[in-house]
Amino acid sequence: MPTGVALHDVREQLFGAAERVLLRDGPNALTSRAVTTEAGCAKGVLHRHFTDFDAFLVALVHDRIARVEGQAAALREGAGTGTVAGRLTDALTSLFESVAVAIVGLVTSRDDVRARLRETTPTGVPVLTEATAAIASYLAAERDLGRIAAGADVEVLAPTLVGTGHLLFADRNGTPPDPEAVRKVVTAVLAGAVREPAPGSTPEARP
């Protein structure tokens, strides 16, 4: 690792390496040596920037949570465009085709990491908890716009969508479900909640 490399660049290089190891070999293979070897740098580089390997893993999870929160803002701001089912299909696919499923496996397999994460995520599973909040916020925005029924309970619909989506992607061996399978799940969960366009209005164009 060249000297003078910005801390942000070092972190991103190490995080990227950790993701590749995690996705390829699973959480049990994730060690400091595996990460630095994957990143092509000396083992000491990781320990110069993090107090220990668990601290590195916690930072990795927090970084991925921040990405979910960024996606959440974009999803919420897009309320009223496209179709509700289409946007949720894209959101769930984007979430679970990434490292999210593997991160959940990492968190559930490492007691010390999970304990440290409890300081910021006292309940639920990190990444899934933030994803659920993102979906609930989006559904609430669509409800305000009248595209979701006024009586729809978004606090129930959101975890149902995230939990079902997680199972759909986790129940695979390297082959993600096709978009139509994800859309089918979304449509089933939202059955009765999505409102049809009002008479005289322009129907939504399906993506």
The CATH number for 168's domain is 1.10.357
pLDDT of residue 42: 87
- Please enumerate in sequence order all residues whose Cβ is within 8 A of that of 81, keeping only pairs 6 or more positions apart, or say none: 87
Both 113 and 22 in one domain: the answer is: no
**Backbone phi, psi, residue 203, to 5°:** -60, 150
The CATH number for 24's domain is 1.10.10.60
Cα separations in angstroms, 17 against 64, 67, 134, 184: 14, 17, 27, 34
Both 67 and 44 in one domain: the answer is: no
Of 24, 4, 38, the C-alpha closest to 14 is 38
pLDDT of residue 81: 94
pLDDT of residue 137: 96
198 falls within a domain: no
Both 44 and 110 in one domain: the answer is: no
pLDDT of residue 89: 95
pLDDT of residue 57: 94
- Please enumerate in sequence order all residues whose Cβ is within 8 A of that of 30, keeping only pairs 6 or more positions apart, or say none: 18, 21, 22, 57, 106
Q: Determine the structural domain holding residue 22 and report its residue range.
A: 1-49
pLDDT of residue 175: 75
Q: Which residues of the chain have pLDDT under 50?
A: 1-7, 198-207
The whole-angstrom separation of Cα 70 and Cα 56 is: 21
pLDDT of residue 201: 45
pLDDT of residue 79: 95
pLDDT tens, residue by residue, 162-175 = 999 988 888 656 67
- Please enumerate in sequence order all residues whose Cβ is within 8 A of that of 82, keeping only pairs 6 or more positions apart, or say none: 204, 205, 207
149 falls within a domain: yes
Both 119 and 131 in one domain: the answer is: yes
- What are 124's two structure tokens? 């639920």
